[in-house]
């Protein structure tokens, strides 16, 4: 969530396009709900692009090879522990032109689908994260609601610092500090929460 909001604040044109999509579909007469997510493809593209640039876990859970095999021309003995560096794959310029540029449009025609093995923020197959569907719905609904209900502003004229910290999940090095105020069209709905 912090990465997505940070990227949106550094790209106000993307934030505005998402706000327009939400306003056109949901309007101002109610708060968005989970059923709206299927009708917000640009919001889904923003989530996919954020997950591509900043996966929840940059290294997938290690697996042990059950038998000897060849991977990329390398002989892997049985019992070898293998781990996939998703951050490297999802930021590889051979797979993603200009990988460090935030471009949700990369996913405009994907309808939420993953593109082969290029985007796997939750892993793949039997050992993929069982919470993927829930995570995408919760984060989509939370981010969409924040966009729908509030105006966001970076403190000062500077960009949000996108330096990555260290850790299992690669947090932002500096916490996100922004100012928000309710959108006038949403005040009535926010007061009823």
Q: Residues comprising the binding site for heme?
A: 129
Residues making up the binding site = 129
Residues 6 or more apart whose Cβ sits within 8 Å of residue 167: none
| Gap between the Cα atoms of 44 and 170, Å rounded | 22
* Cβ-defined contacts of 19-23 (< 8 Å, 24+): 19/147, 19/148, 22/144, 22/147, 22/148, 23/148
| Gap between the Cα atoms of 152 and 124, Å rounded | 35
| Gap between the Cα atoms of 152 and 191, Å rounded | 19
| Gap between the Cα atoms of 37 and 64, Å rounded | 37
């Amino acid at each position: 969530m912090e990465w997505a909001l940070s990227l949106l604040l550094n790209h106000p044109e993307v934030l505005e396009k998402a706000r327009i999509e939400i306003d056109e579909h949901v309007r101002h007469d109610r708060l968005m709900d989970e059923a709206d997510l299927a009708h917000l493809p640009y919001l889904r593209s923003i989530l996919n692009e954020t997950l591509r640039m900043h996966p929840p876990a940059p290294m997938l859970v290690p697996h042990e090879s059950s038998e000897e095999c060849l991977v990329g021309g390398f002989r892997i003995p049985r019992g070898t522990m293998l781990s996939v560096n998703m951050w490297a794959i999802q930021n590889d310029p051979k797979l993603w032109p200009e990988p460090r540029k935030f471009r949700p449009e990369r996913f405009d025609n994907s309808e939420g689908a993953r593109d082969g093995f290029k985007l796997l923020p939750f892993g793949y197959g039997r050992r993929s994260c069982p919470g993927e569907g829930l995570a995408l719905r919760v984060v989509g609904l939370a981010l969409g609601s924040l966009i729908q209900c509030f105006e966001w502003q970076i403190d000062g004229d500077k960009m949000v610092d996108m330096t990555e910290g260290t850790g299992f999940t690669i947090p932002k090095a500096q916490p996100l500090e922004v100012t928000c105020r309710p959108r006038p069209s949403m005040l009535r709905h926010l007061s009823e929460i």
